[in-house]
């Protein structure tokens, strides 16, 4: 008997393709709740699911492909109707009708607090010194410290927010280290 050596990493998918599930349901699953195992593993305390609004599977022999739309809820936030792009991945699970209320009526234990990040941050020490030397060589004033502007693409997946104006409540909420910190403690959360 020959030994089979598997090359590559193991798949993390557990379940069926979305269209294998929907083709076995009345009206192609309209109104039913489906979840991806990937999101259940990554965010166990915040539900991510779709409520199917319409589906048009390709009626091939394996029911692997098609188009489906649903009301998307990602980490407890409802995002509206989206086209489901990962329906061909074998990672879907149908939620039984008895358990749908756990997903649909979920409320967070405490409200989510966004990370507030300053709009500007001092440059790292070596780069700050290089900029100071370049400013001296150009004959510019080095009295004011150069600051690095920070830009954040605010989306559902990135929950950080830029500080609007410096209010007393927001001054110490940043987890980014400043140039004034004298300790070598790790400031990451």
**Hunting for tokens 């089979």 — which residue is that?**
4
Q: How many CB atoms lie within 10 A of CB 160?
A: 15
Locate 82 and state its tokens: 């989206």
Q: How many CB atoms lie within 10 A of CB 54?
A: 14
Is the confidence at residue 148, as pLDDT, over 50?
A: yes
pTM value is: 0.62
- What does the DSSP 8-state code read for residue 24? T
Locate 99 and state its tokens: 């358990």
Q: What mean pLDDT do residues 42-71 have?
A: 86
Is the pLDDT higher at 113 or at 75? 75
Q: Give residue 159's pLDDT.
A: 66
Q: Which domains does the chain show, CATH number per domain?
A: 18-104 (2.30.30), 113-180 (no CATH)
Each residue of 80-117: pLDDT tens digit?
Answer: 899 998 888 889 999 999 999 988 888 877 777 777 78
**Secondary element (H or E) of residue 73:** strand 66-74
**Using 50, 70 and 90 to split pLDDT, how confident is the model at 156?**
low
**CA atoms of 184 and 15, how far apart (whole Å):** 46
- Per-position DSSP letters for 77-115, written without gaps between them: EEEEEEE-S-TTSS-EEEPPGGGHHHHHT---SS-----
Is the confidence at residue 184, as pLDDT, over 60?
A: no
Q: Give residue 130's pLDDT.
A: 92
Q: Partners of 16 in the beta sheet?
A: 92
Is the confidence at residue 41, as pLDDT, over 60?
A: yes
Locate 78 and state its tokens: 């409802």
What average pLDDT does the structure give for the chain? 79
**Using 50, 70 and 90 to split pLDDT, how confident is the model at 165?**
low
């Amino acid at each position: 008997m020959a030994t089979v050596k598997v090359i590559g990493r193991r798949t993390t998918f557990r379940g069926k393709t979305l269209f294998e599930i929907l083709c076995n349901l009345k009206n192609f699953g309209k109104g039913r709740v489906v979840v991806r195992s990937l999101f259940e593993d990554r965010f166990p305390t915040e539900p991510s699911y779709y409520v199917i609004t319409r589906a048009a599977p390709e009626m091939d022999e394996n029911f692997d492909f098609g188009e489906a739309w649903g009301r998307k809820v990602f980490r407890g936030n409802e995002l509206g109707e989206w086209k489901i792009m990962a329906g061909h991945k074998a990672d879907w699970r149908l939620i039984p009708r008895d358990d749908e209320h756990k997903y649909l009526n979920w409320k967070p234990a405490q409200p989510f607090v966004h990370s507030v990040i300053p709009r500007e941050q001092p440059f790292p020490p070596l780069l700050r010194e290089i900029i100071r030397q370049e400013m001296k060589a150009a004959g510019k004033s080095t009295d004011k410290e150069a600051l690095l502007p920070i830009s954040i693409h605010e989306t559902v997946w990135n929950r950080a927010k830029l500080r609007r104006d410096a209010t007393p409540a927001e001054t110490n909420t940043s987890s980014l280290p400043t140039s004034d910190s004298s300790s070598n403690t790790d400031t990451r959360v």
